Amino acid sequence: MYEIVLKYACPVSDIIAEDFLFMRIQLSEHFTYRKLLRFTLPSVIMMVCTSIYGVVDGVFVSNFVGSDAFAAVNLIMPFLMVLGAVGFMLGTGGSALVAYTLGAGSEKRANEIFSLLIYVLIGLGAVFTIGGIAFLTPMSRLLGADETMLPVCVSYGRIVLLGLIPYMLQNTFQSFLVTAERPQLGLYVTIAAGVTNIVLDALFVAVLQWGVEGAALATILSQFVGGAIPLVYFLRPNSSKLRLGRTSFHGRALLKACANGSSELMTNISMSVVNMLYNWQLMRLMGSGGVAVYGVIMYVNFIFIAIFLGYSMGSAPIVGYHYGAGNRTELRGLLRKSLCIITVMSVVLTAAALLLARPLSLIFVSKEPALLPVTIRAFSIYSLSFLMVGHNIYASSFFTALNDGFISALISFARTLVFQVAAVIVLPVSTAYGPPWWLPRRWRCCCRRRASWASGKSTAMRKEARM
């Protein structure tokens, strides 16, 4: 990917050979384009691998269980993501604070804050697991699950929630491993977790035919791998600057970490809320098929967005360190270089998404020919968002690294909630005058029938109420 992004940067093979095996770049160094790409490349690859491994569940469920089960999984997934969002908050916000503290020369305090955040995360994970299981059934109904989809949603959700703590730890440690100057270890852990997920998905879903339960079991076992390895690494003596150990309660630091990471918390919660609204609208207008199409777009979207997320996550500790050290010249240089890289990435990814819309859609809906045309068209339109989303993601991450949680949260709030919620609510109003132009004819007819049925049912209910 990066040989396309910046041809003048060193060859990818050299990056892998030097950075992964021999060369260790410290946060205190001056970062050129070459060095910046080297340091962030493991995080980019890690996030791409994470997204691909997340897609695996969808591929196996859609191809071996069916589109209805696939729709049910995507219906309950936003609720599960909301519960796991705290891991992103404490990971991103906490790593920014820890990097700042290291830059200020307080290594002992940095380790105490790091340990406190991990212990708090485990406690919150236990509470959210119990609460999530208790509210799983009513939440599934609230999200629009019918009697066919409800048991699938509940069954999948209960199993996945058992792995909530390792899932939160995995997300948190991905950020802290970069801060500890060990992004390579984060990559290796992600690969190990991903391979585990793929192998177990193939075994449980394709061979043993355990359905969505098998996919859920494969997911939580891979999350245990991704969460346990870094936990053991930081608990044992290591050569990095961070280690889990005894701590004391740093209330201000905990609040600061939460404030710093509020943008990531807001992003994940907002995305989940928007996904719930999308699923509700699509169930109303197009049924489970519409939810399945949207699920395909979201799965593929994760792969492209992961590149921006990986770069932002990899560069954030650098920004935080130099901000803590008071090196304003280096900060301005990092911002300028990063914006150039993000811009080139945006153009390349948009072009790639448009060219790959059909083959990527075929991975999920090859056995559902009725869903293929609308999936291709919808994803082609969605691909245009890649032109700007990278700048937004990086801007939010940059302010988080500067420990300015308010501006970071404001950017994320506008991107993930305000504009999207308005669009999801307002744009479907056009169906009152006719279905969207980009839908195939059979889908437009389906929307008209559903709208007519809904209108007739509403009229009948009003008449009954008057009687």
Select the more confidently predicted residue: 19 or 316.
316
Q: Give the CA distances from residue 237 to residues 179, 184, 240, 244, 251, in Å, rounded to whole numbers and listed in that order.
A: 17, 18, 9, 9, 27
Q: What's the pLDDT band for 47 if we cut at 50, 70, 90?
A: confident
Q: State the pTM of this model.
A: 0.68
**Res 177: pLDDT:** 87
pLDDT band at 309 (very low <50, low <70, confident <90, very high): confident
Average pLDDT over the chain reads 78
Q: What is the pLDDT of residue 319?
A: 85
Read off the pLDDT of residues 238-274 as tens digits, 9 standing for 90 and up.
888 888 988 888 888 888 888 877 767 777 777 777 7
pLDDT tens for each residue of 16-38: 334 433 346 666 677 788 888 88
Alpha helices (runs of H) in 250-385, residue ranges in sequence order: 251-260, 262-285, 288-324, 328-355, 357-365, 372-382
Of 7, 23, 143, 134, nearest in space to 79 by CA:
143
Higher per-residue pLDDT: 151 or 429? 151
Q: Where are the beta strands (DSSP E) in 158-272?
A: none
Q: Residues of the chain with pLDDT > 70: what percent?
A: 84
Q: What does the pLDDT read at residue 78?
A: 80
Query: Residue 5 — very low, low, confident or very high, per pLDDT cuts 50/70/90?
Result: very low
**Residue 196: pLDDT band with limits 50, 70, 90:** very high
What count of other Cβ atoms lies within 10 Å of the Cβ of residue 462? 10
Q: Is the pLDDT of residue 321 over 90?
A: no
pLDDT digits (tens, 9 = 90+) for 129-141: 999 999 999 988 8
Highest mean pLDDT among 313-322, 352-361, 452-461: 352-361
Work out the pLDDT band at 442, boundaries 50, 70, 90.
Answer: low
How far apart, in whole angstroms, are the C-alpha atoms of residue 234 and residue 421?
Answer: 40
User: Would you state the pLDDT for residue 278?
Assistant: 79
Q: Please, what's the b/e burial string for 69-102 (b: 16 or more CB within 10 A of its CB; e: otherwise)? A: bbbbbbbbbbbbbbbbbbbbbbbbbbbbbbbbbb
pLDDT at 456: 45
Residue 248 φ/ψ region, left for φ over 0, alpha for ψ in the -120 to 50 degree band, beta for the rest: beta
CA-nearest of 324, 318, 320, 353 to 337 is: 318
Output the pLDDT for position 15: 36
* Token pair 């009725």 in the structure block, residue: 370
Hey, what are 106's tokens?
Answer: 């307080």
> Tens digits of per-residue pLDDT, 369-417?
777 888 888 888 888 889 988 898 888 888 888 877 778 777 877 777 7
Closest of 302, 51, 299, 86 to residue 197, by C-alpha: 51
Per-residue pLDDT band at 342 (split at 50, 70, 90): very high
Alpha carbon distance 307, 81 (integer Å)? 20
Confidence at residue 462, expressed as pLDDT on a 0 to 100 scale: 37
Question: In this model, does residue 328 exceed pLDDT 60?
Answer: yes
Q: Letter for the amino acid at 117? A: L
Residues 6+ apart with CB under 8 A from 161: 80, 83, 129, 132, 133, 136
Delimit the domains of the chain by residue range.
Answer: 2-462
